[in-house]
Amino acid sequence: MTDDGKSLDRRGFLKRATGAAAAAVPAEMHAQDHGHDHQVVPSDPALRTKALESLLVEKGLVDPAALDAIVDTYENKIGPRNGARVVARAWVDSAYKERLCADGGPAIAELGYVGAQGEHMVVVENTPKLHNLVVCTLCSCYPWPVLGLPPVWYKSAPYRSRAVIDPRGVLREFGTELADDVEIRVWDSTAEIRYLVLPERPAGTDKMSEEELAALVTRDSMIGVAKVAAPRGGKP
Ligand code: FE
């Protein structure tokens, strides 16, 4: 229905949507000015997803509470904590690290983390002279069993394109400054292969337990846009 109570036909809807999209352009340009998104119109995938969900619920094929539970599980319960435990284990157990870097999937499965979007895992190790960065240039492929659901920026067009064109610049925007002599490797995820970055263990953590180490590991460090920071006030 329109504001004046008349029903809105498809043509009218399209006209309105076009106008709204045009209005969104200055907002996008503005976003480029100071680095965050103002989106007036929901993105196409968001609209499509909403439409699909509404239809499936309406036809009784899907329970919205079940959808909420799945999203909650991946966003909050699994999140990146599984990946953090994998990293911490690799830091304290060199034989495990060797297995992990040789063939990620089975080594990750040793800790019980298996499932969709994690069938073929490749683990790439950061060193003082090599930094790995993960992207999915096509869409948003991401290792769900170890990192949960991808953050919004990971799915954004600017990250997907700029991570390969200017990885050093992207890293700088995330606050990660790398020396010129550090090589950066960018890994493009696919429907078949998902990557997990094994970040460097920070200095000053020699006496920390595996559990304490896992608590230091962030999602961003396992995507490769950040390093793992040394603990505040660190343990000697
Ligand atoms: Fe993808």
Asked whether residue 90 falls in the same domain as residue 205, the answer is yes
Closest to 184 in 3D by CA, of 225, 124, 131: 131
Cα 184 from chain centroid? 19
Q: What is the rounded average pLDDT for all residues in the chain? A: 83
User: Is 7 among the catalytic positions?
Assistant: no
Position with higher pLDDT, 92 vs 71? 92
CA of 128 to the centre of ligand 1 (A): 29
Residue ending a domain, choose from 55, 78, 101: 78
CA distances from 20 to 27, 43, 128, 161, 165 (A): 11, 12, 49, 26, 31
Which residues make Cβ contacts (< 8 Å) with residue 148, sequence separation at least 6? 74, 75, 76, 78, 79, 80, 82, 219
User: Is 139 among the catalytic positions?
Assistant: yes
Asked whether residue 113 falls in the same domain as residue 141, the answer is yes
Residue ending a domain, choose from 53, 78, 103: 78
CA of 230 to the centre of ligand 1 (A): 32
Asked whether residue 71 falls in the same domain as residue 109, the answer is no
Query: Using an 8 Å Cβ cutoff, are 126 and 197 in contact?
Result: yes
Could you tell me if residue 139 is inside a domain? yes
DSSP class of residue 132? E
User: Is 136 among the catalytic positions?
Assistant: yes
Domain holding 194, by residue range, is 80-223
Asked whether residue 69 falls in the same domain as residue 163, the answer is no
**Reduced to 3 states, what is the DSSP secondary structure of residue 137?**
coil
Give the helix/strand (H/E) hosting 62.
none
**pLDDT for res 216:** 95
User: Is 140 among the catalytic positions?
Assistant: yes
Give the helix/strand (H/E) hosting 185.
strand 183-188
DSSP class of residue 76? I
CA of 54 to the centre of ligand 1 (A): 24
The answer to whether residue 134 scores a pLDDT higher than 60 is yes
Q: Does this model's pTM top 0.85? A: no
| High-pLDDT (> 70) share of the chain, % | 80
Could you tell me if residue 186 is inside a domain? yes
Query: Using an 8 Å Cβ cutoff, are 147 and 86 in contact?
Result: no
Asked whether residue 216 falls in the same domain as residue 181, the answer is yes
126: buried, middle or exposed (CB in 10 Å: 19+, 13-18, 0-12)? buried
pLDDT band at 73 (very low <50, low <70, confident <90, very high): confident
Closest to 170 in 3D by CA, of 228, 224, 130, 128: 224
Asked whether residue 185 falls in the same domain as residue 100, the answer is yes
Instruction: Quote the tokens at residue 115.
Output: 């499932």
pLDDT band at 29 (very low <50, low <70, confident <90, very high): very low
Query: Using an 8 Å Cβ cutoff, are 218 and 226 in contact?
Result: yes
- Amino acid identity at 54: S
**pLDDT for res 117:** 81
Could you tell me if residue 121 is inside a domain? yes
Spot the catalytic one: 43, 54, 139, 209: 139
The answer to whether residue 4 scores a pLDDT higher than 50 is no
The answer to whether residue 45 scores a pLDDT higher than 80 is no
Of 43-47, 83-87, 134-138, 144-148, the one with minimum mean pLDDT is 43-47
CATH at 138 = 3.90.330.10
Could you tell me if residue 7 is inside a domain? no
State the total domains in the chain: 2
Instruction: Quote the CA–CA distance of 85 and 80 in Å, as a whole number.
Output: 9
Instruction: Quote the CA–CA distance of 82 and 146 in Å, as a whole number.
Output: 5
